[in-house]
Chains A and B, each alone.
Chain A
Amino acid sequence: MDDPEERFTDLYDQHYRNVLGYALLRAEPALAEDVASETFLVAWRRWDDIPEPPLPWLLGVTRNLLRNQRVKRLRSDELVTRLAQLSTFADGDVAERVADRQEALAVLAGLREQDIEAVVLASWYGLTPAQAAEVAGCSARTYNVRLHRARRRLANALRPHPPLTFQEQA
């Protein structure tokens, strides 16, 4: 498969959703989509610069585009609200999933914005700490601290039985 257009199409199909998902953490949907399109335009133009695996690089481009676009980082409560809005787009959710989501949101609401990003990067994209640190624009050490802090808080919240109150709320 040597055709550059085919290879690019594969890259796009494989990673578009991830790139957009990341942009949605910062930007309104319409802007996020434009930033995702722009990310792939940059990828096409700078094909020779793309490392393997490409996702951390793509997310780094997205992050820079958002920054240059002066999209400000959301405060953690705004970010949690955004996450709540975005994930309600899923339909056909079983009650349990809805409950999980509510629970996750409730716990996240108590975290710092950067810690939320850390745990999201790990969970959504399976990035290694080094890769995620590059995307988040911090050192691997800092990233690890954020990730562990977020995970500890979330795990603590999970350890007792899933609070029924959340299910009732849902």
Chain B
Amino acid sequence: MNDEDSVNELIATLRPDSLTEEAHRRRRSADLAQAFRTPRAPHHTRRFPMPQRRPLYLITGTAVAGLAAAAIIVPQVLSGDSSPLAISAGESPGGVGGVGGVGGEAFRSTDTSTTTVNTRTVLLAAAKVSTEEPAGSGKFWYSRVRTTQLVRVAPDEYAAKIKKLLAEQDAKKEELKNKPDELNAAMKEFDKKVHELKTTRLPYAASRSETTDTWRSLGGAAGRRVTGLDMKIAFATPADEAKWKQAGSPRLADDPSGSRETLPTGVVSIDNPSLTWSNVAKLPTDKQGLKDRLLSLHEKSPASGKKQLADYLWQTGADLLTAPITPGTRAALYQVLADSASGLKSSTGVTDALGRTGVALDTTGPDDAGEAGRITYRLIFDDKTGKALELDVIEAGTAMPLLQQTFETTGYVDALGDTPAQ
């Protein structure tokens, strides 16, 4: 054995194999799920980190509401922000952990408050109508979803500001290169400025909407996903639009206009990596069977331990109600949710973005600053059919929802490009 080999062998003994092996096992499903629900970048590489990413808040939206199409990637790490990374790992501590005392009450149906009784009643009614819907089948599961997000940054303004900050930072580095303490303080100051830049609200409320058509293959064939359809910017009020004009009418969408075609993402439910678009149709169709299954899935969930049962059930319920489950499973799901109703609030006669009327099922969580109850996660379902209509992430005091996903059409079809008969 020559020296080189023995040196290599020696150094190889220092490789932390047990640690990396263990981490691989532990992180694998959440990491893969997180990647698969993240859109792939178009072919060009962007110079500035931020614009293609949706800012901080929506992370909470994804982690909690599992709102797949929302293009949510916030590697704060890329833009020099030193806030914790864990938030982008799909099992975010910014989830709905703060829902006051809800988790322990899951499945407890002895609560007699009016809201709970109402919620339980509407959920049981939804279970009943669900069983009356016909079962479907087909080679693809089609969905047409309108996604509306609050515009958080004007991309060009943001890029210019971050560029300026980076230039300042470089100058500072050069200036203080022999004064480590001062440099350290300057870098911290810089981090703070980046964070401020990312979290400062625009002086006007505007939203961007686009429609996504997805054909998810339920067999071996490839699926299709068309995004960027009918993109539209809207302002909360004419006054907001006036303020935008005053600010020089900056561009509010960084994406190229026009639709783009990609492959659909595979994950049905980020908390439940074992569920697939084809196997959700095989979930139990009786309440006890489904409840047992969901409890066992919660145990195995990457988010388990971080997410309380009631939050997990709301989240998984929302994921499943927009997936191809059978009418029997849907009915059982509403029954299971009815048993955990003490943690959920409902309102009837709520309309979605398309003007359809249904029942809203709400849970709340903390905002990015950790203040409890500031974010409402809302599922609107049609109480006449049991079908999901819309998912919303709403911040208290903000004129427009942070995120809104409206399920315009969902259903089985047999060929790519087909849409279900209305």
Contacts and interface: CB of A to CB of B under 8 A. Distances in A.
- A and B are partners in one complex rather than unrelated chains: yes
Interface of A: 4-5, 8-9, 12-13, 16-18, 20-21, 24, 29-31, 33-38, 40-49, 65, 68-70, 83, 86-87, 89-91, 97, 100-101, 103-105, 107-108, 119-120, 122-124, 150-151, 154-155, 158-159
Chain A CB within 10 A, most for which of B31, B79, B88, B89? B31
B266 interface: yes
A16 B85 contact: no
Chain A CB within 10 A, most for which of B3, B14, B18? B14
A104 B24 contact: no
B187 interface: yes
A46 B44 CA distance: 9
B33 to A, nearest CB: 10
Interface stretch (B35-43, B57-65, B118-126, B360-368): B35-43
Given A38-B77, A90-B17, A158-B7, A31 B36 contact: no
A163 to B, nearest CB: 13
A5 to B, nearest CB: 5
Contact of B23 (A20, A43, A150): A20
Chain B CB within 10 A, most for which of A24, A34, A48, A65? A34
A84 B168 CA distance: 39
B85 A34 contact: yes
Instruction: Please report whether the interface of chain B is mostly helix, strand, loop or mixed according to DSSP.
Output: helix
B88 A38 contact: yes
A43 B23 CA distance: 19
B214 to A, nearest CB: 15
Given A31-B85, A104-B11, 19 more contacts: A5-B266, A13-B28, A17-B23, A21-B20, A30-B86, A33-B23, A38-B85, A49-B45, A68-B80, A70-B82, A86-B19, A87-B13, A90-B18, A100-B9, A104-B10, A123-B11, A124-B15, A151-B4, A158-B7
Contacts of B7: 119, 123, 150-151, 154-155, 158
Interface of B: 3-4, 6-21, 23-24, 27-28, 30-32, 34-36, 38-41, 43, 45, 73, 75, 77-80, 82, 84-86, 88-89, 187, 191, 263, 266
Given A70-B191, A87-B15, A104-B11, A8 B79 contact: no
A89 B40 contact: no
B16 A24 contact: yes
Contacts of B45: 46, 49
Nearest to A101: B13
Nearest to B16: A86
Given A20-B23, A24-B16, A87-B16, A41 B82 contact: no
Chain A CB within 10 A, most for which of B7, B40, B82? B7
**Which 9 A-B pairs give the minimum distances between C-beta atoms?**
A34-B85, A155-B3, A123-B11, A86-B16, A17-B20, A44-B35, A123-B8, A104-B10, A154-B7
B14 A87 contact: yes
B38 A44 contact: yes
A104 B11 CA distance: 6
B407 to A, nearest CB: 23
Contacts of B12: 123-124
Contacts of B18: 89-91
B224 to A, nearest CB: 13
A91 B10 CA distance: 17
Contacts of A16: 20, 23-24, 27-28, 31
A38 B75 contact: yes
Contact of B86 (A34, A40, A97, A122): A34
Contacts of A123: 7-12, 15
A24 B19 contact: yes
B265 to A, nearest CB: 8
Contacts of B38: 41, 44-45
Given A38-B85, A41-B73, A45-B40, A100 B13 contact: yes
B21 A69 contact: no
Contact of B19 (A89, A97, A150, A151): A89
A16 B14 CA distance: 17
Contact of A105 (B14, B30, B89): B14
